Amino acid sequence: MTTLTGQQIADEQLDGWTYLLGGLQTRIRTPNFAVGLSIVDAIGAEAERMDHHPDLDLRYTHVDVRLWSHDARGVTHRDVRLARAISAIAADAGVTLAHAGVSRLELALDSPDFAAVLPFWRAVLAGEHLTGPGFGDEVRDPAGALPTVWFQESGRDEPRQRWHPDVWVDPAEVKPRMEAALAAGGTLVSDEAAPHFWVLADSDGNRVCLCTWQGRD
């Protein structure tokens, strides 16, 4: 099954949903745990009917939903159809879904010889090594509980940074997060790759990338 590009997903105009790191995500705000549980039950019934199952995270004040087609390793039209069905379930329950504040974290290890260190991190994290188109080289938790670790070739000159986090956000989230980071003492290191990503640093020089789907297709 063909996966959709970020622009194709944006063209679907899925209100309240955002495309983060290969999956569709939303947050359904709920007044209490019982309402959240009932929504999860309704989503489960619809997922069984469609034979396509989301990742769900139930909390006291919200339900986080992530959709992606595991067999296609990306978002397909199956995910778009289920997203619309979940939006309808939320509307029937009188609650709203939104992507504000929703993000996805992955960790990048900058190494001059990542092929030598990758097996170590795979063993420590009990992860699986994924490679090929759309992956590069990364170690992923099969259960999806831990952030993905991906490996980026770097130079050997010291001092150098070994680790940096990549924070994936909706494009509309970039400006407010960047403004808050700069107001908190950070600096903008580079926007040359925007809107692909922006590089920021804290007052000690530790770097982080704010990433979006834009500019990647």
Is residue 208 classed as helix, strand or coil in its secondary structure?
A: strand
Query: Which CATH code is given to the segment(s) 6-98?
Result: 3.30.1360.20
Say whether pLDDT at 70 is over 90: no
**0.85 exceeded by pTM:** yes
Q: Which pLDDT score is estimated for 217?
A: 64
Residues 103-211: name the CATH superfamily. 2,3-Dihydroxybiphenyl 1,2-Dioxygenase, domain 1 (3.10.180.10)
Q: Where are the domains of the chain?
A: 6-98, 103-211
Q: Which tens digit of pLDDT belongs to each residue from 108-146?
A: 999 888 888 899 999 999 999 887 665 568 898 988 889
CA 182 to chain centre: 23
> What does the pLDDT average to over 19-27?
95
Distance between terminal CA atoms of the chain?
Answer: 17
Pull the structure tokens for residue 157: 């000159």
- Give the CA distances from residue 174 to residues 13, 106, 168, 200, in Å, rounded to whole numbers and listed in that order: 19, 17, 9, 12
Residues 6+ apart with CB under 8 A from 189: 199, 200, 201, 207
Contact predicate 50/81, CB 8 Å? yes
